[in-house]
Structure 1
Amino acid sequence: MELKTIEEKIRYCNSLTDYSRRETIPVKVGDLIIGGDNPIVVQSMTTVDTMDTQGSIDQAIRMIESGCELVRITAPSIKEAENLRKIKEGLRERGYRTPLVADIHFTPNAAEVAAQIVEKVRVNPGNYADKKKFEVLEYTDASYQAELERIRERFLPLVKICKANGTAMRIGTNHGSLSDRIMSRYGDTPLGMVESALEFLRICEDERFHDIVISMKSSNTQVMVQAYRLLVQKLDEGGFKPYPLHLGVTEAGDGEDGRVKSAVGIGALLEDGLGDTVRVSLTEDPEFESPVVKTLIDRYLHRPEKSGIPPLDSYPLDPFGYTKRKTVEVGNFGGGNVPRVLTDISRLEQLEPKELKGTGHFYLPELDKWKMNDQGCDYLYSGSKPVPFMLPNGVKEIVDYEVWIGHSDKKNSYPAISPEVLSEKRELHPEVNFLFLACEQMEDAVPLLTNSHPLVIVLATEKDHQMQALRRAFVTLIQAGIELPVVPKVTYAQKDTEKTTLYAATDVGGLLIDGLGDGILIGLDRLKLDQRQELLDQVKLHNSVSFGVLQAARTRMSKTEYISCPSCGRTLFDLQETTAMIRKRTDHLKGVKIGIMGCIVNGPGEMADADYGYVGSGKGKITLYKGKEVVKRAVPSERAVDELIEIIRQDGQWIEPEASEHHH
Structure 2
Amino acid sequence: MELKTVSENYRYCNSLTNYSRRKTIPVRVGDLLIGGDNPIVVQSMTTVDTMDTEGSIEQSIRMIESGCQLVRITAPSIKEAENLRKIKEGLRKRGYDTPLVADIHFTPNAAEVAARIVEKVRVNPGNYADKKKFEVLEYTDASYQAELERIRERFLPLVKICKANGTAMRIGTNHGSLSDRIMSRYGDTPLGMVESALEFLRICEDENYHDIVISMKSSNTQVMVQAYRLLVQKLDEGGFKPYPLHLGVTEAGDGEDGRVKSAVGIGALLEDGLGDTVRVSLTEDPEFESPVVKTLISRYNNRPEISGIDPIENSPIDPFSYNKRKSVEVVNFGGGNVPRVITDVSLISEMQPKELRATGHFYLPELDKWKMNDLGCDYIYSGKEAVPFMLPNGIKEILDHASWKIHPERKNKFPAVSLGQMVSGEELHPSLNFLSCSCEEVVEALPVLSNDLPVVIVLSTEKAHQMQALRRAFISLIEAGIHLPVVPKVTYTDADAEKTMLFAATDVGGLLIDGLGDGVLIGLDRLTLGSREKTLEQVKLHNSVSFGVLQAARTRMSKTEYISCPSCGRTLFDLQETTAMIRKRTDHLKGVKIGIMGCIVNGPGEMADADYGYVGSGKGKITLYKGKEVVKRSVPSEKAVDELIGIIKQDGQWIEPEENDHH
TM-score band, normalised by the shorter chain? Answer: over 0.9
**Corresponding residue number in structure 2 for 1:336:** 336
**Corresponding residue number in structure 1 for 2:35:** 35
Worse-matched range after superposition: 80-89 or 518-527: 518-527
Alignment of 1:285-324 (within 5 A): 285-324=285-324
Q: C-alpha separation between the residues in 1 aligned to 2:527 and 2:10?
A: 37
**Corresponding residue number in structure 1 for 2:457:** 457
Counterpart of 2:623, as a letter, is T
Q: C-alpha separation between the residues in 2 aligned to 1:530 and 1:97?
A: 43
**Corresponding residue number in structure 2 for 1:210:** 210
Cα drift, residue 604 of structure 1: 1.4
**Corresponding residue number in structure 2 for 1:656:** 656
User: Is this contact kept in 2: 1:436–1:458, CA < 8 A?
Assistant: yes
Cα drift, residue 4 of structure 1: 2.3
Q: C-alpha separation between the residues in 1 aligned to 2:527 and 2:514?
A: 29
Worse-matched range after superposition: 1-10 or 359-368: 1-10
User: Is this contact kept in 2: 1:614–1:625, CA < 8 A?
Assistant: yes
Counterpart of 2:107, as a letter, is T
**Corresponding residue number in structure 2 for 1:471:** 471
**Secondary structure in 1 matching 2:4:** coil
Residues 390-448 of structure 1: per-residue CA shift (max 9 Å, x gap):
00110000000001111111222000001122212221111100000000000000111
* Structure 1 position 409 matched with structure 2 position 390: no
* Structure 1 position 262 matched with structure 2 position 275: no
Cα drift, residue 526 of structure 1: 5.1
Counterpart of 2:250, as a letter, is T
**Secondary structure in 1 matching 2:591:** coil
Cα drift, residue 320 of structure 1: 0.3
User: Is this contact kept in 1: 2:529–2:535, CA < 8 A?
Assistant: yes
Worse-matched range after superposition: 324-333 or 600-609: 600-609
User: Is this contact kept in 2: 1:50–1:80, CA < 8 A?
Assistant: yes
**Secondary structure in 2 matching 1:661:** coil
Q: C-alpha separation between the residues in 2 aligned to 1:629 and 1:526?
A: 52
Alignment of 1:27-426 (within 5 A): 27-426=27-426
**Corresponding residue number in structure 1 for 2:24:** 24
Q: C-alpha separation between the residues in 2 aligned to 1:143 and 1:96?
A: 49
Residues 238-275 of structure 1: per-residue CA shift (max 9 Å, x gap):
00000000000000000000000000000000000000
Q: C-alpha separation between the residues in 2 aligned to 1:265 and 1:387?
A: 37
Residues 309-340 of structure 1: per-residue CA shift (max 9 Å, x gap):
00011000000000000000001000000000
User: Is this contact kept in 1: 2:400–2:416, CA < 8 A?
Assistant: yes
Residues 68-110 of structure 1: per-residue CA shift (max 9 Å, x gap):
0000000000000000000000000000000000000000000
**Corresponding residue number in structure 2 for 1:593:** 593
Change beyond 3 A, Cα 1:450–1:646: same
Q: C-alpha separation between the residues in 1 aligned to 2:588 and 2:27?
A: 46
User: Is this contact kept in 2: 1:27–1:211, CA < 8 A?
Assistant: yes
User: Is this contact kept in 2: 1:467–1:511, CA < 8 A?
Assistant: yes
Worse-matched range after superposition: 328-337 or 600-609: 600-609
TM-score, L = length of structure 2? 1.00
Q: C-alpha separation between the residues in 2 aligned to 1:3 and 1:348?
A: 45
**Corresponding residue number in structure 2 for 1:636:** 636
User: Is this contact kept in 2: 1:492–1:526, CA < 8 A?
Assistant: no
Cα drift, residue 205 of structure 1: 0.2
Cα drift, residue 368 of structure 1: 1.2
User: Is this contact kept in 1: 2:347–2:526, CA < 8 A?
Assistant: no
Counterpart of 2:125, as a letter, is P
For structure 1, list consecutive stretches of 5 or more residues without a partner in the other structure: none
User: Is this contact kept in 1: 2:28–2:168, CA < 8 A?
Assistant: yes
Worse-matched range after superposition: 205-214 or 362-371: 362-371
Q: C-alpha separation between the residues in 2 aligned to 1:2 and 1:344?
A: 36
Q: C-alpha separation between the residues in 2 aligned to 1:659 and 1:347?
A: 33
Counterpart of 1:325, as a letter, is R
Q: C-alpha separation between the residues in 1 aligned to 2:421 and 2:332?
A: 23
**Corresponding residue number in structure 1 for 2:429:** 429
Q: C-alpha separation between the residues in 1 aligned to 2:206 and 2:95?
A: 38
Q: C-alpha separation between the residues in 2 aligned to 1:553 and 1:302?
A: 27
Q: C-alpha separation between the residues in 1 aligned to 2:199 and 2:327?
A: 41
Counterpart of 2:607, as a letter, is M
Cα drift, residue 525 of structure 1: 2.7
Q: C-alpha separation between the residues in 2 aligned to 1:216 and 1:362?
A: 42
Cα drift, residue 365 of structure 1: 1.0
Worse-matched range after superposition: 165-174 or 598-607: 598-607
Q: C-alpha separation between the residues in 2 aligned to 1:593 and 1:353?
A: 33
Q: C-alpha separation between the residues in 1 aligned to 2:256 and 2:361?
A: 20
User: Is this contact kept in 2: 1:347–1:385, CA < 8 A?
Assistant: no
For structure 2, list consecutive stretches of 5 or more residues without a partner in the other structure: none
User: Is this contact kept in 1: 2:82–2:113, CA < 8 A?
Assistant: yes
Residues 449-479 of structure 1: per-residue CA shift (max 9 Å, x gap):
0000000000000000000000000000000
Q: C-alpha separation between the residues in 2 aligned to 1:317 and 1:495?
A: 33
Cα drift, residue 602 of structure 1: 1.4
Cα drift, residue 605 of structure 1: 2.1
Counterpart of 2:178, as a letter, is L
Q: C-alpha separation between the residues in 1 aligned to 2:528 and 2:154?
A: 60
Q: C-alpha separation between the residues in 2 aligned to 1:304 and 1:66?
A: 27
* Structure 1 position 604 matched with structure 2 position 604: yes
Counterpart of 2:189, as a letter, is T
Cα drift, residue 530 of structure 1: 3.1
Cα drift, residue 2 of structure 1: 3.4
**Corresponding residue number in structure 1 for 2:558:** 558
User: Is this contact kept in 2: 1:411–1:429, CA < 8 A?
Assistant: no
**Secondary structure in 2 matching 1:498:** helix
**Secondary structure in 1 matching 2:172:** strand
Q: C-alpha separation between the residues in 1 aligned to 2:524 and 2:144?
A: 57
Q: C-alpha separation between the residues in 2 aligned to 1:418 and 1:545?
A: 26
Question: Kindly, what percent of the aligned residue pairs are identical?
Answer: 84
**Secondary structure in 2 matching 1:67:** coil
Counterpart of 1:109, as a letter, is N
User: Is this contact kept in 1: 2:53–2:83, CA < 8 A?
Assistant: yes
Cα drift, residue 561 of structure 1: 0.2
Q: C-alpha separation between the residues in 2 aligned to 1:529 and 1:411?
A: 31
User: Is this contact kept in 2: 1:491–1:522, CA < 8 A?
Assistant: yes
Q: C-alpha separation between the residues in 1 aligned to 2:286 and 2:397?
A: 43
User: Is this contact kept in 1: 2:339–2:520, CA < 8 A?
Assistant: yes
Change beyond 3 A, Cα 1:232–1:61: same
Q: C-alpha separation between the residues in 2 aligned to 1:26 and 1:616?
A: 38
What RMSD over aligned residues (CA atoms) do the two structures have, in Å?
0.6
Alignment length (residue pairs): 663
Q: C-alpha separation between the residues in 2 aligned to 1:495 and 1:214?
A: 35
Q: C-alpha separation between the residues in 2 aligned to 1:301 and 1:278?
A: 14
Counterpart of 2:315, as a letter, is Y
Runs ≥4 residues deviating over 4 A: none
**Secondary structure in 1 matching 2:262:** helix
Q: C-alpha separation between the residues in 2 aligned to 1:77 and 1:607?
A: 24
Counterpart of 1:316, as a letter, is P
Q: C-alpha separation between the residues in 2 aligned to 1:430 and 1:83?
A: 72
**Corresponding residue number in structure 1 for 2:532:** 532
Q: C-alpha separation between the residues in 1 aligned to 2:366 and 2:648?
A: 35
Cα drift, residue 603 of structure 1: 1.5
Cα drift, residue 531 of structure 1: 1.1
Cα drift, residue 366 of structure 1: 1.2
* Structure 1 position 542 matched with structure 2 position 539: no
**Secondary structure in 1 matching 2:315:** coil
Q: C-alpha separation between the residues in 2 aligned to 1:165 and 1:421?
A: 69
Counterpart of 1:625, as a letter, is Y
Q: C-alpha separation between the residues in 1 aligned to 2:243 and 2:587?
A: 41
